[in-house]
């Protein structure tokens, strides 16, 4: 984990958070895109998700995306005001939340309106890397301010999707050229639905990345009766169907979209 100290040079506020252009005055970040879970200004620490994109390595400039949606409006304004003219500190995670391979040339992004702000860093990153990017937003077109920001600053192709469950979504996935990579962002049911459609048309696990928001309904697959169970915060459960006691494995099967439940041995 890397610690950096920053100073805001410019910012723009949205309902879900604010975007800040900053200069790093102490410390460094090894990757072009990263995350932090808190910001500290003087003796005050705020717990909130922050995404980080390097905009100019030589000038030590970065763009920070502060997601403040969990706070009430007054608190959001207070955070932005406190950080505006003071040096603040971030602890940046070593793990990138988005992977781009050297051979990647085109990205397809399918984003729910509820996850639009959280997806700005990835859109920004792809624009800076000059990757051909098509963006489809499942929206009621209520977030025009963020959409206008994306259009004017990031120069990406933006289209609107009426439903993630429609033939329209399937056709968009099916018409992609070989080598296109997919990123999905939204509520977990949408993510899972589009992921399954993508695999039907030929996308592989390696070509799909996603970020779900909200609570994920995790499942346990019973290896005895081949049925699914709700995952609880327990290492041992009883199958809801065949009543077999199962040990819940830490192994997650992408094929089954569930954790494996093995027969408990006494």
Residue 223 predicted with pLDDT over 70: yes
Mean per-residue pLDDT for 9-15? 90
Q: What is the predicted pLDDT for the residue at 228? A: 93
Q: What is the predicted pLDDT for the residue at 153? A: 67
Residue 139 predicted with pLDDT over 80: no
Residue 249 predicted with pLDDT over 70: yes
Q: What is the predicted pLDDT for the residue at 146? A: 85
> Could you tell me the pTM of the whole model?
0.82
Q: What is the predicted pLDDT for the residue at 29? A: 85
Mean per-residue pLDDT for 11-29? 92
Q: Please give the CATH number for the structural domain made up of 106-213.
A: 3.40.50.80
**pLDDT averaged over the chain?**
89
Q: What is the pLDDT of residues 70-111, one digit of tens each?
A: 888 889 888 999 999 899 999 998 667 788 999 999 999 999
Q: What is the pLDDT of residues 39-77, one digit of tens each?
A: 999 989 999 999 999 999 999 999 999 999 888 888 988
| Ranges for all domains in the chain classified under CATH 3.40.50.80 | 106-213
| Ranges for all domains in the chain classified under CATH 2.40.10 | 2-92
- Around 230, how many Cα atoms within 13 Å sit in the side-chain half-sphere? 5
Confidence bin at 141 (pLDDT 50/70/90)? low
Q: What is the predicted pLDDT for the residue at 155? A: 62
What are the backbone dihedrals phi and psi of residue 230, each rounded to the nearest 5 degrees, phi first?
A: -70, 135
Mean per-residue pLDDT for 152-181? 84
CATH topology of domain 2-92: Thrombin, subunit H (2.40.10)
Mean per-residue pLDDT for 149-153? 77
């Amino acid at each position: 984990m890397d610690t950096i100290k920053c100073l805001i040079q410019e910012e723009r506020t949205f309902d879900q958070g604010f975007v800040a252009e900053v200069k790093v005055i102490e410390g460094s970040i090894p990757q072009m895109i990263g995350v932090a879970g808190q910001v500290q200004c003087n003796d005050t620490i705020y717990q909130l998700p922050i995404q980080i994109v390097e905009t100019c390595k030589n000038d030590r400039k970065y763009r920070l995306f502060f997601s403040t949606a969990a706070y009430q409006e007054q608190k959001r304004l207070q955070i932005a005001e406190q950080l505006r003219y003071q040096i603040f500190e971030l602890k940046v995670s070593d793990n990138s939340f988005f992977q781009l391979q050297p051979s990647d040339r085109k990205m397809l992004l399918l984003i729910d309106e509820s996850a639009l702000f959280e997806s700005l860093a990835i859109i920004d990153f792809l624009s800076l890397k000059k990757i051909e990017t098509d963006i489809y937003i499942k929206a009621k077109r209520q977030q025009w301010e963020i959409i206008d920001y994306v259009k004017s600053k990031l120069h990406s192709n933006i289209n609107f999707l009426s439903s993630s469950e429609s033939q329209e979504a399937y056709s968009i996935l099916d018409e992609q050229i070989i080598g296109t990579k997919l990123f999905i962002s939204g509520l977990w049911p949408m993510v899972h639905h589009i992921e399954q459609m993508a695999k039907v048309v030929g996308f592989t696990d390696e070509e799909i990345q996603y970020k779900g928001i909200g609570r994920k309904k995790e499942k346990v697959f019973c290896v005895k009766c081949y049925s699914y169970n709700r995952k609880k915060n327990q290492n041992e459960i009883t199958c809801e169907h065949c009543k077999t006691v199962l040990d819940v494995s830490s192994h997650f099967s992408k094929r089954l979209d569930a954790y494996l439940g093995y027969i408990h041995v006494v």
